[in-house]
Structure 1
Amino acid sequence: MKKAIANNSLALVFGLLFLVSLVAQAFSGWQQFNDQQVGERLGTIGWWDYVTSADFAVDVSENWQSEFLQFLLYLLLTVWLLQRGSPESKELDKAGLESDEEQKVGEHAEAGSPAWAKAAGWRRSLYSNSLAAMVGAIFLASWLVQSVAGWAAYNETRLQQMRDPIGWGAYLLHSDFWARTLQNWQSEFLAVGSFAVMAIYLRQRGSPESKPVGAPHTATGIEG
């Protein structure tokens, strides 16, 4: 059991942090929502009503979609784009999809390689892009949830203001939807780009996300 926990400690810790943060967000968001309701002389709601509401759904999903968009773009752009000196970049002479030998597929697969890496045709092609496909699907699904939940929450606000609700298609073009979306996108792009550049000159000993402490600043595509 101890060995299994140690071997999966990174996933377990982040899973725990996710659950704790989500529950904490649910309680703090509930209190914030009720505070706004009191300020507008409207009735308060219970915690369960809040976590099953459009307001909570849009707050959660708008962050999820931006995170998965970040990973999707990072996966795809780092295939072709390079950053000299960054461990987040491939080596400068390895831009592109790389050879079958480098990717250990087909006749170059090893004994422990996944079965679909050894296969030919569509199965190998699908498996070769399966990570981006899954991340992209989660991004699109969470963005769809954000749009529907945000639409419902926005119309609730309009009705409280004695204004007519708008349709989902109109909401997709509305500033409320894009303000929620872009405020998350810009922060994700800033974080990834900044990290890639900072990792050229700064180090974290023992981390695979950093170069070895003594590696030259110009060393590219190596991890500590």
Structure 2
Amino acid sequence: MHSAPRITVEVPVLRVGSGAGDYEALGNYVDALRRPQGLHLTLLHIGVLADFARDIADWTKGSTTAGNAAGTTVAWLEGLPVLAGFAARAERLVLLGGGRVSGLEVEVPQHVRDYQVSLVKALHELLDALLVDNVDDFILSSQALGFRYPRWTPHIAVGRPKSRDRGPWDIEPVAVEFGPSRIRNRQFLPALDAGGGCRDQDLGLPGAGGGQ
């Protein structure tokens, strides 16, 4: 298990329903309901930066070093446009992570779906710039990225399922308010060196493994 923080592009949940009671009512379906202050909807998962950089270095057989892959990725993340806050709706719970997590399935506006598609397209462009060939194959095989499904399902992980059933479960419809998009764990991104890369020690990699 990784202790290093995972990097994602996400939107924070500001409010579920019209008050605390609307969220707490999900406890009828979910065990260990998560604190509402930490809820979010993931738009793009990058994973542990060092792992992502190492995946690229391995795939390119060293043509792109881990340090340069990490540095380019950090600069790319910092340059992503911000999605403004928006309102959405949820009316059912679904199972995630092989059935270990319950999530609110969220009906997001079309412009949010368009933004998420633009992130995936930008990821393709990033990988092209990093000399990754067969980008689709890389995305599906990268352990760091963890892409398991071809279609994005907007959801908010809220706790553990009470039932052993596979669901989904209809709930009383609730409005969900989201804040502007942000980079999760941004404060843990390493600083760039003069050449636009990251030092191996900043990534937690062995001295000879990645950067120059």
Query: TM-score of the superposition, structure 1-length normalised?
Result: 0.28
Larger Rg: 1
Bigger fraction of residues in helix: 1
Point out which structure has higher relative CO (alpha carbons under 8 A, 6+ apart): 2
Query: TM-score of the superposition, structure 2-length normalised?
Result: 0.29
Bigger fraction of residues in strand: 2
